[in-house]
Amino acid sequence: MTMERLYLFDTTLRDGQQTPGVDFSLDDKLVVIELLDRLGIDYIEGGYPGGNPTDTALFVEARPMKAAFTAFGMTKRSGRSVSNDAGLQQLLAAKSKAICFVAKSWDYHVRVALGCSNEENLDSIRASVEAAKAAGKEVLVDCEHFFDGFKANPAYALSCATEAYNAGARWVVLCDTNGGTLPAEVSKIVRTVTKSVPGSHLGIHAHNDTEQAVANSLAAVDAGVRHIQGTLNGIGERCGNANLVSIIGTLALKKSYADRFETGVTAERLGELTHVARAFDELLNRSPNAQAAYVGKSAFATKAGIHASAIAKEPETYEHVKPESIGNRRRMLVSDQAGKSNLIAELNRVGLSVAKDDSRLDELLREVKEREAQGYAYDGADASFELLARRTLGTVPHYFDVLSFRVIVEERDKEMVSEAVVKVKVDGEIFLNAGEGNGPVNALDVALRKDLGKFQQFIDDLELVDYKVRILNGGTGATTRVLIESRDGKGNRWFTVGVSPNIVEASFQALSDSITYKLVCEGVSP
């Protein structure tokens, strides 16, 4: 049986950004693009060029990626020509391979929100699609409020979809914008639409207001659509968007889909799904949902009790899929076998290969578990994980020793001033560096990187991009986790982590990991 291709479209950076409290910087967006592109997503919607300065900057230059980089924007305004619509012109000029237009398809919204006639709206859809095609773009049209519009006026909603298709849109995407449609309705409506627009050109965009965005997306696939839009971990306004992570897991691991469809996510990348989901949460500086389907920490955790020995003997009888297939692990049965294969996969992901029977793996596994118990989270800090692994494997040179450091924070003339002094030993030579900063961590960073002797030339282009602090447990005994993002002149970026009851010490660990990682990457020998 030949496999049919399903196309995955990620809108984390556009629709996902509607989540309260989520606001991606340009750097954040580049990190998320890298995660999504590596995973094998077909379309990555970056944002709304012209909508805000970050998105405009994102689309100013071409961003190399395998996925089709997609800009989002509105169809032409009625009563205006394509060439006179500044918003549309900006969209056409954006450095993207594809354009996703949002178009009204509910006559009520056409009247109230656009204030134009139904005909004028159809005209805007056609003219916008044609202009984007002429500009060499692949075109998608998100038919906003499609399902509600279809229930109110099926003929008009359908005419919006067919207008987009006939004008040359690659994908006509049916949106459940209010998120209140149920799977059976989605199924029925999509089947009707496929009589006018072939399923090979139809997509689904579901919101999660009845917690069925994933179910609705799958119902739409069963009814014929071949394109699914969603976000990482289901972020989005109100109750969120369809969770692409759950959709990817289901499409790949459930027989009724896996036997019929393939996506751009290979089995190998599927094994990194848990990492992607957790790394994204770390980027948002929030704790991953332990009960998330497939990738949650508890997704394969069973309380032992009467099942313990049975689970130990036949874990698959208690699991709907194999946890390793999505890079997750079984909990409760301290199964070193499962832990080890997971660890090997993680090592491969950061480019280290170790034989299965290498005894140092046991030591590393013990070390990782111990550190995770202390509060380290390596899903968001690949560079620290790689260093920890390389140290255990004995391949990290000893570059410098920090003999002591001191940080002073004081108020001077009504201004807060921070000063740091760091004493480091490099190749037998002692350097006493002082630095000033707008806060203790900044001062420490300045002092530490001021003079590292013969290594200084290799870290001159090192730059701190982001700094995140998470308090892991409340009260005076709280533990602090610091996550630092660094970048160098070649555009490489890496994340390091530090954990301590003291925020300065946690920061210091992450800072010195960042420097060491940079030296390792440069291939510097001590």
Instruction: Kindly list the residues in this chain that would bind Zn ion in the complex (CB under 5 A).
Output: 15
The least distance separating Zn ion from the CB of residue 177, rounded to whole angstroms, comes to 6
The least distance separating Zn ion from the CB of residue 227, rounded to whole angstroms, comes to 14
The residue among 402, 366, 368, 411 whose CA lies nearest residue 388 is 368
> 437 exposed, middle or buried (CB, 10 Å; 0-12, 13-18, 19+)?
middle
Assign residue 355 a region: left if phi > 0, alpha if psi is -120 to 50, beta otherwise? beta
Cα→Cα distances 174→67, 217, 237, 473, Å = 21, 10, 18, 43
Residue nearest to Zn ion (CB): 15
Residue 201, token pair as written in the block: 């050109």
Nearer to Zn ion, 12 or 512 (CB): 12
Nearer to Zn ion, 15 or 28 (CB): 15
The least distance separating Zn ion from the CB of residue 156, rounded to whole angstroms, comes to 20
> 328 exposed, middle or buried (CB, 10 Å; 0-12, 13-18, 19+)?
buried
Give the whole-angstrom CA distance, residue 425 versus residue 427: 7
Nearer to Zn ion, 15 or 485 (CB): 15
Residue 286, token pair as written in the block: 């929030």
The least distance separating Zn ion from the CB of residue 175, rounded to whole angstroms, comes to 6
Give the whole-angstrom CA distance, residue 156 versus residue 159: 5
Nearer to Zn ion, 15 or 138 (CB): 15
The least distance separating Zn ion from the CB of residue 12, rounded to whole angstroms, comes to 12
The least distance separating Zn ion from the CB of residue 184, rounded to whole angstroms, comes to 21
Nearer to Zn ion, 178 or 187 (CB): 178
The least distance separating Zn ion from the CB of residue 301, rounded to whole angstroms, comes to 33
For the chain, the first-to-last Cα distance in angstroms comes to 58
Give the whole-angstrom CA distance, residue 11 versus residue 229: 7
The strand pair at 7-10 and 227-230 is best described as parallel
How many residues does this entry show for the chain?
A: 526
The least distance separating Zn ion from the CB of residue 145, rounded to whole angstroms, comes to 10
Nearer to Zn ion, 15 or 445 (CB): 15
Q: Which residues contact 398 (CB under 8 A, 6 or more apart)?
A: 526
Give the whole-angstrom CA distance, residue 67 versus residue 69: 6
Cα→Cα distances 188→161, 220, 226, Å = 16, 9, 16
Nearer to Zn ion, 144 or 379 (CB): 144
Give the whole-angstrom CA distance, residue 492 versus residue 72: 27
The least distance separating Zn ion from the CB of residue 7, rounded to whole angstroms, comes to 17
Place of tokens 């036997």: 259
Nearer to Zn ion, 15 or 513 (CB): 15
Give the whole-angstrom CA distance, residue 274 versus residue 352: 19
Q: Could you tell me if 424 and 491 are in contact, meaning their C-beta atoms sit under 8 angstroms apart?
A: no
Helix (H) or strand (E) holding 481: strand 480-487
Nearer to Zn ion, 247 or 519 (CB): 247
Nearer to Zn ion, 169 or 519 (CB): 169
The least distance separating Zn ion from the CB of residue 147, rounded to whole angstroms, comes to 12
